[in-house]
Structure 1
Amino acid sequence: MSTTLITNIGELTTNVGGASAPGDPCGTLRDAAVLVVDGRVAWVGPADEAEDVSSRFARSTTREPSVVERGSEATETKRVDAGGGAVIPGFVDSHTHIVFGGDRADEFEARMTGTAYAAGGIRRTVAATRAATDAELRARLAGFVAELHAQGTTTFEVKTGYGLTVDDEARLARLAAEVTPEVTFLGAHVVPAEYAERREDYIALVVGDMLDACAPHSRWVDVFCERGAFTPDESRRILDAGIARGLLPRVHGNQLGPGDGVQLAVAVGAASVDHCTYLSDADVAALAASDTVATLLPGVEFSTRQPYPDARRLIDAGVTVALASDCNPGSSFTSSMPLMIALAVREMGMTPAEAVWAATAGGARALRRDDVGVITAGACADLVLLDAPTRVHLAYRPGVPLVSRVWKDGAELTPA
């Protein structure tokens, strides 16, 4: 049995109570402690009760007196002094595109001198990804995973979408599945160049052989329902095919302008609709009346100089909001969830507590998970210790590496 006791936590963000909790969506505890047993949270409570609780738990779970007499084999508890720092759940990044080849720094430079962002740049990454070997893609993916972990992200989704052939999409799904269970089939990212004059043939491929090849490695199906990508009717056909194969739907929508992505997502019962930059009153009302999460991706607006989504409008309407990085080589080449929090607070009208909740529990809801994004008995022990007294510092000190230690399923990823 593996046991860790983290005590002397100045501020603990549990997220118990949820976004609807008046004044404190983060379920804050002060002077707190957390007991972790075999990768799960076993107890959360006041620091001054921690030692007694730990001892009682050890006694109650020891079945053989001989084990106790032998010492630490089953009952020794590793103790971590948080030094008065803040502890939050590991970030849940519910939208990434981190299996790819190539680089598009020149596009970023061009945007910074006035060139407008358009979806067509995706095809450049498709060409580079197709040219990369499995070993090259796997090594690069491992680097991104290490980057995520170092910044406090313990759960993350990964999309395909940079292969756009049956074999290439299948290998991206397979590689992604090596690092996360949250794999999304995104064959409907754009229509590849070789099908530019044969859209219907490509859509038939996506809902046929490509879906067949990717579904065994995927949990989700996604579609870019946007001008320059896929129409609402095409998007619905693709999502329906994925659902028929047992995949859960999610949607890219309303990023480049007003559109039908949000309404489509709600209609098919999607777990989330991501971007939500341009919303009508009807879109907001539809989201508020549904279980579909509005996942906001402020790294995109930072990188493309588009208007930021209005998180305040969504939250005040009762919509569940998540934050994610959309880490990708074209429109948001950052994996930093702390940066997403800072941007959400500075540019999107969120309070620091709302932003932290959205980057943890909100992301979990966007993935339909209740075992991550919270710190409560029974949840995965995915924890982040900040080198700061409160979570507010994630927005208050943007760009400063405040993540001190990270645990995933109770195992420390970033030892002190």
Structure 2
Amino acid sequence: MTATLITNIGELTTNAAADGDPLGTLHDAAVLIVGDRIAWVGPASAAHAAAALHRESASRGRERGNDPASRPPVEPSREEGFEVVDAGGRAVIPGFVDSHTHLVFGGERADEFEARMTGTPYAAGGIRRTVAATRAASDDELRARLRGFVAELHAQGTTTFEIKTGYGLTVADEERLARLAAEVTPEVTFLGAHVVPAEYGERREEYVDLVCDAMLHACAPHSRWIDVFCERGAFTPKESRRILAAGVAHGLAPRVHGNQLGPGEGARLAVELGAASVDHCTYLTDADVAALAGSSTVATLLPGVEFSTRQPYPDARRLIDAGVTVALASDCNPGSSFTSSMPLMIALAVREMGMTPAEAVWAATAGGAQALRRDDVGALAPGMRADLVMLDAPTRVHLAYRPGVPLVHTVWTGGAAA
């Protein structure tokens, strides 16, 4: 089993709350990775003794067929059995958890972006252009593009990510998008309820029937989640409730796109149905905020959308001060947020949404993990997946302080450096 000791870490963000610090910050720290898991986290001065203890425990376990819980440390051989990485005083954080993306699609919509920058307002109807381009693309074309986006995410420090369907909107096309997404992530969301496709015209009820029946049957085997765009120009609260209930009956867990284009029932619907997350949350009433604060539903904010559409940014400060759990995600998609950069989301959240750098980093890591109901990612503690990012910076604050600068030095995913 491979093992890596990362030592001389200037600032380590563990997200294991301690002494009033929700980010569990350690200075002059070290992390021991064994296999695909974090084995130990602590001060750099104790790193080699900890490594020796784990090496001895593993050795004795192999000899005796057990794994003793505790052995006294011995003087270690610094290199024997371990790859030692000297962080050189750099900061290390958990890998980003991007809980909202739309990465399987064909075509692009740069002309829409250009039009918005000259005053044309954003509308959900542009999704249908991507639907047409996606239907026309082959599996191999979509797969190649998807893998390119995944490489893009990894290069920017994202180690866990969700992918939604929603650009096929036929049974066969939605099924293949879910199947392709499942090749690269276990966090696949069935979003047949993205918009009503053009060929259904005024036959909305027929399309909702299709989503709840044949389309759901085809996509559920590849999916963990079901989502719905509960918004004007997309699906009504009544339609959304029916679609989400059908997904839950098929074993999928609910998520909601809501309150993006104006006030609506999306956030409260998400709370009512116990959804893991309601995403966008740009227009929230006091009642919406109170409902979220009293629930386990995460408010996932997508500042790349506001950057790209010139809509108002959500008020993260209001949510955090009310006790709502907040996550940040990229919403990477060709229409309203064609960026895969979680560092950019952090910078925008700090500059435009009232978050501190620490809050934004937590929301982009532990917050995203909560939005996906994952307890194995988003933090660095013994037993967690060894997903971590070394920054070419002395502190996580540089993610907001130096926007647009490539600060990712090394990424470990499941213990493997890339």
Query: TM over 0.5: same fold?
Result: yes
1:175 aligns with one of 158, 174, 180: 180
User: Counterparts of 1:28-39 in structure 2 under 5 Å?
Assistant: 28-39=25-36
Tell me the equivalent position of 1:16. Answer: 16
Once residues 129 and 417 of structure 2 are traced to their aligned partners in structure 1, the CA distance between those partners, rounded to angstroms, is 38
- Per the alignment, in what secondary structure is the counterpart of residue 283 of structure 1? helix
Tell me the equivalent position of 2:369. Answer: 364
Tell me the equivalent position of 1:389. Answer: 394
Amino acid at match of 1:239: L
Tell me the equivalent position of 2:4. Answer: 4
Tell me the equivalent position of 1:342. Answer: 347
Tell me the equivalent position of 1:112. Answer: 117
Please list the CA deviations of residues 198-237 of structure 1 after superposition, one character each: whole Å capped at 9, or x if unmatched: 1000000000000000000000000000000000000000
1:55 maps to 2:60: no
- Per the alignment, in what secondary structure is the counterpart of residue 62 of structure 1? helix
Amino acid at match of 2:350: V
1:291 aligns with one of 282, 296, 299: 296
User: Counterparts of 1:215-226 in structure 2 under 5 Å?
Assistant: 215-226=220-231
Once residues 101 and 150 of structure 2 are traced to their aligned partners in structure 1, the CA distance between those partners, rounded to angstroms, is 11
Once residues 250 and 267 of structure 2 are traced to their aligned partners in structure 1, the CA distance between those partners, rounded to angstroms, is 22
Once residues 343 and 58 of structure 1 are traced to their aligned partners in structure 2, the CA distance between those partners, rounded to angstroms, is 43
Give the drift of 1:25.
Answer: 2.1
> How many correspondences in the alignment?
404
1:205 maps to 2:202: no
User: Counterparts of 1:219-258 in structure 2 under 5 Å?
Assistant: 219-258=224-263
Please list the CA deviations of residues 322-348 of structure 1 after superposition, one character each: whole Å capped at 9, or x if unmatched: 000000000000000000000000000
- Per the alignment, in what secondary structure is the counterpart of residue 30 of structure 1? strand
Once residues 393 and 2 of structure 1 are traced to their aligned partners in structure 2, the CA distance between those partners, rounded to angstroms, is 31
Give the superposed CA RMSD. Answer: 1.4
Amino acid at match of 2:43: P
Task: Name stretches of at least 5 consecutive residues in structure 1 with no aligned partner.
Answer: 67-71
1:46 maps to 2:43: yes
Once residues 133 and 50 of structure 2 are traced to their aligned partners in structure 1, the CA distance between those partners, rounded to angstroms, is 55
Once residues 169 and 3 of structure 1 are traced to their aligned partners in structure 2, the CA distance between those partners, rounded to angstroms, is 41
Please list the CA deviations of residues 372-402 of structure 1 after superposition, one character each: whole Å capped at 9, or x if unmatched: 0000000000010000000000000000000
Give the drift of 1:65.
Answer: 6.5
TM-score (norm 1): 0.96
Once residues 276 and 200 of structure 1 are traced to their aligned partners in structure 2, the CA distance between those partners, rounded to angstroms, is 27
2:94 aligns with one of 81, 89, 92: 89
Tell me the equivalent position of 1:69. Answer: none
Please list the CA deviations of residues 355-379 of structure 1 after superposition, one character each: whole Å capped at 9, or x if unmatched: 0000000000000001000000000
Tell me the equivalent position of 1:328. Answer: 333
**Segments ≥4 residues shifted beyond 2 Å:** 63-66
TM-score (norm 2): 0.95
Tell me the equivalent position of 1:145. Answer: 150
1:312 maps to 2:317: yes
Amino acid at match of 2:228: V
Give the drift of 1:76.
Answer: 1.1
Task: Name stretches of at least 5 consecutive residues in structure 2 with no aligned partner.
Answer: 65-76
Fraction of identical pairs, as percent: 80
Once residues 13 and 260 of structure 2 are traced to their aligned partners in structure 1, the CA distance between those partners, rounded to angstroms, is 31
- Per the alignment, in what secondary structure is the counterpart of residue 16 of structure 1? coil
Once residues 41 and 146 of structure 1 are traced to their aligned partners in structure 2, the CA distance between those partners, rounded to angstroms, is 23
